[in-house]
Amino acid sequence: MAGEQWPDPLVLERRRERQMDRRDALKTMGLLGASTLLGDSAAAEERASDAEFFGVLVDTTRCAGCRNCEFVCAETNGLPDPPDDDSVLEQERKPSVTQWSVVNRYETDRGEVFVKRQCMHCNHPACASACLTKAMLKTGRGPVIWRESKCMGCRFCMISCPFDIPKFEYNSPVPKIQKCRMCWERLAEGEQPACVEECPEEALTFGPRRELLDIARRRIYKSPDRYLNHIYGEHETGGTGWLYLAAVSFEQLGFRADLGTEPYPELTKNFLYSVPVVFALMPLFLLGVSGATKRADESEGIPDEHHG
């Protein structure tokens, strides 16, 4: 995909925000009802979009467990170096505030299988739909990013994510939400995600999601004994940007099999409707604090920097 220039997702988002009429703005900022909490308008916008999402196909039959993806992810994103010791493979790990990508080893019916895990970059991300300030943003080409300057700390993104991906820095004096961003800065420059570029076994393939699905289907068709006839992420939770092929059932590889095919923004309403009023009103208070702080920063000449 080298050489392709992407529109800056932040510029596109600002343009969409300017196009909101006063009625929609008042609805979003002033009425803290269920539709606001769920971001129904954002979910509808994503469904109506005909943008071509990009993603990554993970072929677990090719992964050798070298963990190069872990190390290059840390280097690219300024994270601490992962443990350089394969003993970490002895237990299942999840992405954390200091490690956005992890490789796990599973003993399966067909032997040892290695699986890379990170944010799934859902087509209709519950985290972005639940975010009152659009700090968690589904960009027009696929990556789901977090923007520090817009976050008010409600952590609805953590509650809403069916994959338990966004992580909060509880021990930091200036906490952030940490998660994989699919190297969206690199993508904006026409480059691939760093993990894809550094995979020696070509277990990771980057490209338009439709093309990745075609590649996956061809591999299944040509080698039915090698692959399970299931592309994980094609339909789960309405579809995800990261897609997986495997030789065994995905339950054996630590994946949830109970997610269904409906986009999660439609399902999280059942939880958010039950949130007590005090918790429902707190984000509005925090939003006011966030706005006041931002205005104070601007009056002092502090730039509004965006951190993916």
Using the predicted structure, report yes or no on whether residue 216 has a pLDDT greater than 70: yes
Question: What single letter denotes the amino acid at residue 177?
Answer: I
The pLDDT of 189-214, averaged and rounded, is 97
Domain that holds residue 195: 1-289
Note the pLDDT of residue 263.
85
- pLDDT, tens digit, 9 for 90 and up, residues 19-29: 444 344 434 34
pTM here is 0.76
SS (H, E, C) 217-246: HHHHHHCCCCCCCCCECCCHHHCECEEEEC
| Residue 251 CB partners (closer than 8 Å, separation 6+) | 257
- Is residue 272 a part of any domain in this protein? yes
How far apart are the C-alpha atoms of 74 and 71, rounded to whole Å?
A: 5
- pLDDT, tens digit, 9 for 90 and up, residues 82-141: 999 999 999 999 999 999 999 999 999 999 999 999 999 999 999 999 999 999 999 999
The pLDDT of 266-295, averaged and rounded, is 53
Note the pLDDT of residue 234.
98
- For helices 40-48 and 22-30, give the axis angle rounded to 10 degrees: 130
Q: Which runs of E-coded beta strand occur in 89-172?
A: 102-108, 111-117, 136-138, 144-146, 167-168
- Is residue 85 a part of any domain in this protein? yes
Top pLDDT among 16 and 154 is at 154
Q: For the domain that residue 206 is a member of, what is the CATH number? A: 3.30.70.20
Top pLDDT among 5 and 237 is at 237
- Is residue 305 a part of any domain in this protein? no
Number of structural domains the chain divides into:
1
How far apart are the C-alpha atoms of 278 and 275, rounded to whole Å?
A: 8
231 pLDDT tier (thresholds 50, 70, 90): very high
| Residue 217 CB partners (closer than 8 Å, separation 6+) | 231
- Is residue 38 a part of any domain in this protein? yes
- Is residue 118 a part of any domain in this protein? yes
- Is residue 306 a part of any domain in this protein? no
- Enumerate the β-bridge partners of residue 146: 136
Of 17-31, 45-59, 193-207, least confident by mean pLDDT is 17-31
- Is residue 8 a part of any domain in this protein? yes
Using the predicted structure, report yes or no on whether residue 198 has a pLDDT greater than 90: yes
